[in-house]
């Protein structure tokens, strides 16, 4: 009993240490932001700039940019993770049956039976052709969902786990993450552009009246803002590219697998529709961190070429081989009827 208690307390202290470690990058970013606020507002605007109109204009632009950046960061971190709906979980008994299946065919047919029983809208497959299944969560994975080993659960439209936000970047917060990168880039570029003049001034004139401490803050403010702008820009443009292609980071490295093989362009509906899927149709609302991502994270429209191929394959194999047959009524249904939430305007703001 004592041994059990000891191992439990060891495990909880390990979890506590892990949680503390995970929050270090976030604390680091917030610390940099707090210091840069002091350097920009107090040291630069109040103590260095003489012209009052210039001070006012700089501060009037600075604060909305800072607000949008922090708001996007906050929404990325704290948007609750969206996991598979309850019908995707198979339960203890079926989970046991899948885990102890003797052959791949046995496991495959069990998964197809469960998928059909609940009429799950699943189009993607494991590389061995079976339905994708998570042994840890005991659930059939919805299209584009993956298990995050850091969060310990399956997450819808999993992109990656980001240590800088200490959260999974996935269906619910992907828009916020891209906005966070975008507003961070604009914010850092603005700080760099407006502090450049004073950076050059203090760099050239070492005998000015500013205190050495103040000079250090301004010099470092410029360096830090340029450095962050450069590092964030590559990530931001990469995610714009992925959004335009309708790919997650994971899918860009490993093409999603469908019944007829891997299809890198499987979810690509054209750049305009791809962007609307993440940012919505309203241009103004697209730039602020409020939920406008379309769909429900479970149903995804696939491109017409792939859909045609799958329909053809389904007709060809219908009633011949249940192993090859798409487990979907859902294939066609999710594209054509009201279960296709992607095409349903009313499902956008959940």
Both tokens assigned to 248 = 């997650």
Long-range contacts of 27-35 (CB under 8 A, 24+ apart): 29/73, 29/164, 32/224, 32/228, 33/66, 33/70
Is position 140 an interface residue for Zn ion (rule: CB under 5 A)? no
Is position 150 an interface residue for Zn ion (rule: CB under 5 A)? yes
**Least distance from Zn ion to the Cβ atom of residue 156, Å:** 11
CA–CA gap between residue 161 and residue 170 (Å, rounded): 8
Please, are residues 150 and 161 in contact by the beta-carbon 8 Å criterion?
yes
Consecutive H or E run containing 154: strand 153-155
Please, are residues 75 and 189 in contact by the beta-carbon 8 Å criterion?
no
CB closer to Zn ion out of 77 and 240: 77
CB closer to Zn ion out of 148 and 224: 148
**Least distance from Zn ion to the Cβ atom of residue 147, Å:** 3
Is position 154 an interface residue for Zn ion (rule: CB under 5 A)? yes
Consecutive H or E run containing 147: strand 146-148
- 3-class DSSP state of 134: strand
Is position 82 an interface residue for Zn ion (rule: CB under 5 A)? no
137 classed as catalytic: no
Q: List the catalytic residue out of 115, 162, 168, 188.
A: 162
Is position 257 an interface residue for Zn ion (rule: CB under 5 A)? no
How many residues at the interface with Zn ion, by CB under 5 A?
A: 10
| Cβ count within 10 A of residue 217 | 23
**Least distance from Zn ion to the Cβ atom of residue 18, Å:** 13
CB closer to Zn ion out of 123 and 137: 137
Hey, which bits of 200-322 come out as E strands?
257-258, 261-262
Is position 269 an interface residue for Zn ion (rule: CB under 5 A)? no
Is position 185 an interface residue for Zn ion (rule: CB under 5 A)? no
Beta bridge partners of 165: none
Hey, which bits of 225-335 come out as E strands?
257-258, 261-262
Stretch of 152-160, 215-223, 311-319, 330-338 contacting Zn ion, by CB under 5 A: 152-160
**Least distance from Zn ion to the Cβ atom of residue 103, Å:** 23
End-to-end CA distance of the chain: 47
Is position 136 an interface residue for Zn ion (rule: CB under 5 A)? yes
Is position 27 an interface residue for Zn ion (rule: CB under 5 A)? no
**Least distance from Zn ion to the Cβ atom of residue 171, Å:** 12
Give the list of residues 6+ apart from residue 147 with CB closer than 8 angstroms, or none: 134, 136, 137, 141, 153, 154, 155, 158
**Least distance from Zn ion to the Cβ atom of residue 39, Å:** 33
Q: Which of 45, 70, 151, 250 binds Zn ion (CB under 5 A)?
A: 151
Please, are residues 190 and 62 in contact by the beta-carbon 8 Å criterion?
yes
Binding track over 159-178 against Zn ion, x by CB under 5 A: --x------x----------
Is position 134 an interface residue for Zn ion (rule: CB under 5 A)? yes
Is position 137 an interface residue for Zn ion (rule: CB under 5 A)? yes
CA–CA gap between residue 338 and residue 343 (Å, rounded): 8
Residues annotated as part of the active site: 162
Residue numbers of the site for Zn ion (CB under 5 A)? 134, 136-137, 147-148, 150-151, 154, 161, 168
């Amino acid at each position: 009993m004592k041994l059990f208690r000891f191992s439990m307390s060891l495990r909880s202290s390990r979890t506590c240490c892990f949680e503390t470690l995970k929050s270090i990058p976030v604390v680091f970013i917030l610390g940099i932001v707090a210091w840069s606020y002091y350097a920009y507002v107090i040291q630069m605007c109040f103590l260095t700039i003489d012209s009052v109109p210039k001070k006012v204009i700089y501060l009037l632009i600075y604060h909305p940019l800072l607000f949008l950046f922090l708001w996007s960061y906050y929404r990325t971190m704290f948007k609750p993770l969206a996991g598979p709906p309850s019908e995707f979980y198979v339960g203890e008994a079926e989970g046991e049956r899948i885990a102890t299946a003797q052959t791949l065919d046995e496991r495959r047919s069990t998964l197809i039976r469960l998928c059909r029983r609940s009429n799950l809208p699943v189009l993607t497959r494991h590389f061995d052709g079976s339905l994708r299944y998570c042994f840890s969560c005991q659930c059939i994975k919805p299209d584009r969902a993956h298990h995050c080993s850091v969060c310990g659960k399956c997450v819808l439209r999993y992109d990656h786990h980001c240590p800088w936000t200490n959260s999974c970047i996935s269906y619910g917060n992907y828009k916020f993450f891209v906005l966070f990168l975008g507003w961070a880039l604009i914010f850092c570029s603005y700080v760099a552009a407006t502090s450049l003049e004073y950076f050059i001034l203090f760099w050239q004139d070492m005998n000015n009246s500013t205190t050495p401490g103040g000079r250090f803050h301004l010099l470092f403010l410029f360096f830090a803002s340029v450095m962050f702008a450069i590092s964030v820009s590559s990530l931001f443009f990469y995610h714009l590219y992925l959004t335009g292609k309708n790919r997650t980071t994971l899918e860009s490295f490993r093409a999603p697998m469908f019944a007829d093989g891997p299809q890198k362009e499987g979810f690509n509906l054209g750049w305009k529709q791809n962007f609307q899927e993440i940012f919505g149709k309203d241009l103004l609302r697209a730039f602020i961190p409020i939920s406008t991502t379309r769909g429900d994270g479970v149903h995804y429209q696939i491109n017409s070429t792939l859909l045609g191929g799958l329909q053809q394959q389904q007709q060809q194999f219908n009633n011949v081989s249940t192993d090859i047959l798409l487990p979907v009524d859902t294939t066609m249904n999710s594209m054509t009827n009201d279960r296709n939430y992607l095409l349903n305007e009313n499902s956008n703001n959940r």
